[in-house]
Structure 1
Amino acid sequence: MTAVDDLDRKPAEAVRLATSRADDAFTALAEIRRQLATARPSFIFLFVPNRLQPDDLAAALRKSLPNTVVFGCTTAGQITPRGYENDTLLAVAFQRHHFRVASILFQPISPVSIADVVSQTERLATQFRVTPGRKRLALIFADGLSKQEDILVAALEAGLKDIPVFGGSAGDGLRFQRTQVLRNGEFHSNAALLLLLETDLEFSGLGFDHFQPTDKRMVVTRAVPEERLVLEINGSPAAEEYARLVKVPVGELSPMVFAENPVLVRNGNLYHVRAIQQIQGEHGLTFLSAIDDGLLLRLGRGKEIIRTLETGLAVSGHDGEAPDFILGFDCYLRKLEIERKGLDSEVSEQLRQRRVVGFNTYGEQHLGVHVNQTFVGVAFFRPKAGAPL
């Protein structure tokens, strides 16, 4: 029997999942509550589709799950037990005997106070002491329109020190109007939610994309860094020069073109994606990560996305076992490219087989770096037989 066959046979042990495709918040949360009736969660993640209004969900939460700790965010899509979805409310209930959590809400985060983030994070890590035999990790959900994730994640890494941090930027479908994070029954914009988790499960961080650099170089010659806005590339209007390099008329530039032709920045021996969000004004390009004058970029070329997904998700524990579940943060631009190529069913099957649950993001956070067009996740493995609960 293969690991995938084994996954199909056994449900996840450490989390319980619930979904609803109802049209209104109260009905959706009532369905979630019924599906989780026998769960004993320490806390629940709620990943919200953009067709449901956060204010309605907040009101429904007070009635449907009044005594439950709930965190979450708005999304650009969900990863459910079916794979990729767009209009599904997803709840992930983390079982009490495997998880413990503490949280901080940073608000406002535009601009980020580095000193404040570091001091609050250090205080939380000191107060939230690890139980012998258990390990800690951190998760971050940030306002995906704040343009502050790069600085925020660097500050978090300084405060958390040896505690690894993973996460995703909240989304708003493809509207780019308002993104929010959820804590204590309330949704917040211009905010970031830091969660410090303790668990008896072994876990392994994931982070991969499917691009390699080409020989087409770009230098940012005029930018507005605080807005992540590039006005000139190689001394020419940014949108025109990018369109020339990807051999597409300026008028045909779109999220799909940006998804399939990202720009990459080198960090040591690694290249990270600096994704383009949209055209700004006549010739500007707005990015989803930090950008600055003089930054050297390369045009990226895609590798085979199914193969890189299969390789990236093929993680195993110390004894060769498959993960109990994978919490995934997957960029919405990856999903756009996958759908454009007609690969969404195949990718959804891979996600389902590997028991990935999570959401599509406006950016991903991986070990102190804010990235784009990347799959970031945490694979959790079942506790060994006889381990204390």
Structure 2
Amino acid sequence: MNYKIGKSSKKNPLEAVTEATSGLIAPKLILFFSEVNNFESFTTVIKDKFKDSIVLGSTTFAGFCKEGAYKDSLLVMGIEEGIECYADILEEADKFPIKYIDRITNCVDKLKDTKNTVCFEISSALISCEELALATLNSVLELNSIPLFGGSSGDQGKAEKTMISFNGKVYENACAFVLIKNLGGKIRLYRENIYKPTNHYFTATKVDVRNRIVYEYDNRPAAKVVAEALNTTVEGLNKYLDTNPLGRIIGNDMYITANQAVTSNNGMSYHARVYNNSKMVLLEPDDYKHVISETIKQVKKDVPNPSFSIMINCLARSLLFEKDGYLNEFAKSMSSALGNYIGFAGYGEQLDHQHFNQTMVIAVFE
């Protein structure tokens, strides 16, 4: 596998791109992450410099690599050999991504075979498009047994504006995807939760799926049910919104659903869809350093010699680690399992059919 990961904190976009892409000659695929301000300039400059490369980018709260976590920098990964890849974009992602389904089929059809292939996608955040984009992608990927992982774009945590880019063009309502076939081995996907279940379980009985609002749990006002479980009042719920997300239970799996707000008439709005009759559990923080060390152990056991890795570490986790003074250490410690890697932090994570929050997702390439 021939690739390079570079970064730059230079303020001039041209200088930053030159520094971050130093040593790259003819990459098949470029992934880049940066803060919002210079993102459009980076998008143009990178594509101008590498006209024949597939280029996907996203705005992020922080970029991650083995050297640490970087908030006001450009991070770039360029892969020159060892992969086969095809990419495209689904537009109108919040309403009609299905109109662009042929773009997925065309990419899949170009692959010689789908062995050791994964789909990496980046979705526009803050417009509730993730579930529609996933349904569209998976309608094709599933028929070809191609797993999917990815994340929603990020910003400084103010939820004002996020962007993604594909081949030199910036989008605010789209999902960019790339099929990556590893010619040198397998690809393993991981998902890490740093929250654990309490003994409070609910069933969603009245929901507005599209707007991600639950009005009732067990036929009672949702906010009242959650407040009682936390031993507080509806007015007092706000201070628990970040620390006590909910888990959506599907079979033996649990996916974190982040709280957004208490709505009028005692509903609860979320950052991922909850469906009618969803089984939900109230979560509480686990010992995250212990959880992370267990993840590192597991990845090392499964893939002793990774080529490279791609990580999505939720914005909420990144803010928590930053508050605890642990963000940089976290980024560095992950490299002991992931090897040389690149990562970003946004408003949601995706794995196969599920969109969720407050989670870390990793793809490790042998």
TM-score range, shorter chain: 0.7 to 0.9
Do the aligned partners of 1:78 and 1:85 also contact (CA within 8 Å) in 2?
Answer: yes
Per the TM alignment, residue 295 of structure 1 is displaced from its structure 2 partner at its CA by 3.4
Do the aligned partners of 1:180 and 1:191 also contact (CA within 8 Å) in 2?
Answer: no
Structure-1 separation of matches of 2:48 and 2:137: 34
Question: Structure 1, unaligned stretches of length 5 or more?
Answer: 1-12, 382-389
Structure-2 separation of matches of 1:280 and 1:311: 37
Given the alignment, which residue of 169, 180, 185 partners 2:168? 185
1:330 corresponds in structure 2 to 313
Distance 1:40 1:166, change over 3 A: same
Identity %: 21
Do the aligned partners of 2:90 and 2:133 also contact (CA within 8 Å) in 1?
Answer: no
- Alignment of 1:43 with 2:29, yes or no, is yes
C-alpha offsets along residues 189-229 of structure 1, whole Å, 9 cap, x if unaligned?
11001211122122211112123322213344543321113
**Which letter maps to 2:194?**
H
Structure 1 stretches of at least 4 aligned residues deviating more than 6 Å after TM superposition = none
Per the TM alignment, residue 88 of structure 1 is displaced from its structure 2 partner at its CA by 1.9
- Alignment of 1:79 with 2:67, yes or no, is no
Distance 1:15 1:279, change over 3 A: farther
Matches within 5 A, 1:16-165: 16-33=4-21, 36-50=22-36, 52-61=37-46, 63-94=48-79, 96-114=80-98, 116=99, 119-130=102-113, 135-161=116-142, 162-165=145-148
TM-score of the aligned structures, taking structure 2 as reference length: 0.86
Do the aligned partners of 1:259 and 1:275 also contact (CA within 8 Å) in 2?
Answer: yes
Matches within 5 A, 1:360-375: 360-375=345-360
Distance 1:317 1:128, change over 3 A: farther
Q: CA RMSD in A?
A: 2.8
Structure-1 separation of matches of 2:235 and 2:84: 51
Question: Structure 2, unaligned stretches of length 5 or more?
Answer: none
C-alpha offsets along residues 4-61 of structure 1, whole Å, 9 cap, x if unaligned?
xxxxxxxxx542111112234333223223xx235542121011213x2433333433
**Which letter maps to 1:206?**
Y
Distance 1:263 1:317, change over 3 A: closer
Structure-2 separation of matches of 1:378 and 1:239: 36
Distance 1:237 1:77, change over 3 A: farther
Aligned length in residues: 360
Per the TM alignment, residue 105 of structure 1 is displaced from its structure 2 partner at its CA by 0.7
Structure-2 separation of matches of 1:192 and 1:346: 31
1:194 corresponds in structure 2 to 177
Do the aligned partners of 1:117 and 1:152 also contact (CA within 8 Å) in 2?
Answer: no
Do the aligned partners of 1:137 and 1:163 also contact (CA within 8 Å) in 2?
Answer: yes
Name the SS for the 2:113 alignment partner.
coil
